[in-house]
Amino acid sequence: SAAQVADKLRQRAYEDTMADAVELCAEAQTGLDAILQRPSGERMVEIRSVIPTLQAAWSRRKAETIRTGYGRLDADAGGFERPSMVVIGARPSAGKTALALALCLQAARQDVPVLLVSLETTVRRIAERLTAMLCGHSVRSSTTAHPDEQAHRLRVTADKITGAAFYVVDQVHSRSLRELLATCRSLCRQHKIGLIAVDYLQLVSVDGKTENRTQEVTKISAALKDLAIRANAVVLALSQLHRGIAGHAPGLESLRESGAIEQDADMVILLHREELDETNEERTGAKDRRVAFMLAKNKDGPTFTETVQFNAPTMLFYPNTGTKDEPRRDCAIGMAEAELPF
């Protein structure tokens, strides 16, 4: 081992005071080279022995892939493959949490146990948002509705998630990376979690000293990637984007505080609310927003950008179909058609 080589070198240096320094260095180098050239029985395999195993691996991978409910994402990217790290990046109010919830619901409907770690919002607020999505009424209208109507909406929501293994952890007051990882690992062992959503990455804090926030985010990103591999799960990491230039769509460079997020991610989805549409909404009170849906990174396939509709009251995304004034309401992203509120 390297320790044995170092001990031998130190012993020679003390015992043989006449030994030439260059000779000792050459001897040490020989020992280290022998370690580097030594084959590893655990890691070294003959590649031809792997080829026959590929078909079974492909079948297993297909069975474990999580469909997203977004036609083009499933068709072009093949859905979410396990294990992988998928990043959803957006500026505030562009809908990243809403999209994450829709994807979590879609996974739960495929009998994939889901864990949402919320660092920004309480469990009650998450439940209210799910109610809005599943019963078709805004959170605001539900809180002010007649008690009988409130009870009806809650029954509708409960019926639609009956049997779904959907767990939520509120870490609003404890955002430590160490605690987050411990919680996720424990729940993954107990419930065989297949999708872990973290909302959102920049709120995670790192224990111990680091030189700057970029190093911290690098450490967080690497830890989430490792979590995905060890748990054989999809880690859905939400991320803030830099503000950028008004009117310009974001790119991978817009991910805040670290290029490591882009590097570690197997897939990056960016959402961009069009500035023109934002102005129109303020003027007309429109409930639908046009949002650019960008698959900006896809490690094993093509990327694309297309416009989708985001219905703010119900927090649902829809493909940009139908007419400008009447978009189609029968195919919300991540939602089963039978469960649509419209």
- Whose structure tokens read 């920049």? 202
| Neighbouring C-beta atoms of residue 148, cutoff 10 Å | 8
| Neighbouring C-beta atoms of residue 328, cutoff 10 Å | 14
Residues of the chain with pLDDT under 50: 276-277, 280-285, 341-342
Q: Are 340 and 332 in contact (CB under 8 A)?
A: yes
pLDDT at residue number 191: 92
Mark out the alpha helices in the chain (DSSP H runs).
2-15, 21-37, 54-64, 71-77, 96-109, 123-135, 139-144, 147-160, 177-191, 213-231, 259-264, 275-284
pLDDT at residue number 234: 94
pLDDT at residue number 275: 58
Q: At 70, which amino acid appears? A: Y
pLDDT at residue number 85: 93
Convert 251-280 to b/e letters by CB count within 10 Å (16 or more is b): bbebbbbbebbbebbbbbbbbbbeeebeee
| Neighbouring C-beta atoms of residue 104, cutoff 10 Å | 25
pLDDT at residue number 236: 95
Contacts (Cβ under 8 Å, ≥6 apart) of 172: 118, 119, 120, 121, 122
pLDDT at residue number 282: 46
| Spatial distance between the Cα atoms of 142 and 131, rounded to a whole number of angstroms | 9
pLDDT at residue number 235: 95
